[in-house]
């Protein structure tokens, strides 16, 4: 029996997400992509294709019929919401279509009609103007997982590439708040989710987790801060007691050169930028955002909406293509 297709959301329709989906479809054979469908308004996706002079057949369909269509047409599952999507001019009036696309994608996976969710970039500032209450994609997906699957899954954001995988332990909060939020319990819970998903999703037996320190030189034995001694090291010891191969805390400034990366499978960092700067330097076009800890696979391009180049036909689909490929691989 063939596998279910992958559900790809539209993202903010005024950004580059719709264009990326179309270009990924154009390159489906050369990049060996698994079948996928887009959740949007079919007429809108056809309009974007025409604007970009992409000669692609767009067909409105259901998720159940997407695989059968994929070889000859881009399947689009109608979200039942009109999409305006003026390139480069985001509008809160389109926020509902953005959210509907995400919600329908998760529902498709929950019903077994899709095997993974790949989300195109959203503009949180636009969604906030329309009443969106979540800090970001990751937190919204955790709520949707609870809605469809029950339980109280903790979502963990990971950025992945062939060269490096990183997890920020604290995410979308001010840097000044990170030391207050960095608890032993949070570090242990995050490490357990990462270790479990690396084993079950990435098929890596006994994954090696390397933890960065919060302070310069990992606190220099307390001279530059006590968080490593009081919080991070005890959490690592607890993870090791639970059978997880965890090391650190390591100085963050020496964790990401090639020889250091060879010693671990994933790096976990106390703050957002500690984790994301290295991977965006090494693999900006190829990085993939992966949400760990959910009852379904979710990946996303490692970049934003790029309103400044939307509609100009110059957006690079590589990160979305890598996100679709990785979703196929780990689902």
pLDDT tens digit sequence for 83-112: 999 999 999 999 999 999 999 999 999 999
Sign of CA dihedral 225, 227, 228, 234: positive
How many Å apart are CA 135 and CA 144, to the nearest integer?
14
Residue 133: strand, helix, or coil: coil
Question: Could you tell me the sign of the dihedral formed by the alpha carbons of 55, 59, 63, 64, in that order?
Answer: negative
Domains and CATH numbers, the chain: 6-150+297-330 (3.40.718.10), 163-279 (3.40.718.10)
Residue 1: predicted pLDDT: 39
The beta-strand segments (E) located in the chain are 6-9, 36-40, 58-61, 74-78, 116-118, 156-160, 165-168, 208-212, 245-250, 266-269, 288-292, 298-301
Beta bridge partners of 9: 39
Question: What pLDDT is stored for residue 86 in this prediction?
Answer: 93
pLDDT of residue 2: 62
Q: What is the per-residue pLDDT across 240-289, written as a single tens digit (0 to 9) for each?
A: 999 999 999 999 999 999 999 999 999 999 999 999 999 999 988 888 99
Cα angle: 153, vertex 157, 160; to 5 degrees: 130
- Report the distance separating Cα 325 and Cα 302, nearest Å: 14
Q: Model's pTM, two decimal places?
A: 0.91
C-alpha to C-alpha distance for 182 and 190, rounded to whole angstroms: 11
> In whole angstroms, how large is the CA radius of gyration of the chain?
20
Residues of the chain with pLDDT under 50: 1
Q: Which residue has the tokens 């696309």?
A: 101
Q: What is the pLDDT of the chain when averaged over all its residues?
A: 93
Phi-psi region at 230: left, alpha or beta (left = phi > 0; alpha = psi -120 to 50)? alpha
């Amino acid at each position: 029996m063939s596998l279910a297709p992958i559900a790809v959301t539209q993202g903010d329709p005024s950004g580059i997400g719709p264009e990326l989906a179309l270009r990924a479809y154009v390159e489906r054979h050369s990049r060996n992509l698994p079948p996928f469908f887009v959740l949007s308004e079919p007429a809108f996706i056809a309009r974007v294709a025409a604007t970009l002079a992409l000669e692609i057949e767009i067909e409105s369909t259901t998720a159940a019929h997407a695989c059968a269509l994929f070889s000859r047409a881009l399947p689009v599952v109608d979200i039942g919401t009109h999409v305006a999507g003026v390139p480069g001019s985001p509008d809160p009036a389109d926020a509902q279509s953005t959210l509907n696309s995400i919600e329908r994608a998760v529902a498709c996976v929950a019903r077994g009609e899709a095997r993974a969710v790949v989300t195109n970039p959203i503009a949180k500032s636009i969604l906030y103007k329309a009443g969106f209450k979540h800090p970001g994609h990751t937190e919204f997906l955790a709520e949707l997982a609870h809605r469809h699957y029950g339980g109280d899954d903790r979502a963990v954001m990971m950025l992945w590439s062939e060269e490096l995988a990183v997890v920020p332990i604290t995410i979308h909060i001010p840097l000044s708040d990170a030391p207050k939020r960095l608890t032993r319990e949070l570090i242990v819970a995050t490490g357990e989710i990462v270790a479990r998903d690396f084993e079950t999703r990435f098929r890596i037996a006994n994954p090696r987790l390397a933890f960065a320190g919060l302070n310069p030189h990992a606190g220099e034995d307390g001279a530059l801060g006590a968080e490593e001694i009081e919080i991070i090291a005890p959490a690592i010891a607890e993870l090791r007691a639970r059978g997880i191969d965890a090391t650190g805390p390591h100085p963050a400034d020496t964790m990401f050169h090639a020889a250091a990366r060879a010693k671990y499978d994933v790096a976990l960092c106390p703050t957002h930028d500690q984790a994301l700067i290295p991977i965006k330097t090494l693999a900006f076009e190829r990085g993939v955002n992966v949400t760990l800890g959910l009852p379904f696979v979710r990946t996303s391009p490692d970049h934003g909406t790029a309103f400044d180049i939307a509609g100009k036909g110059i957006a690079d689909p590589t990160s979305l293509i890598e996100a679709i490929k990785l979703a196929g691989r780990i689902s």
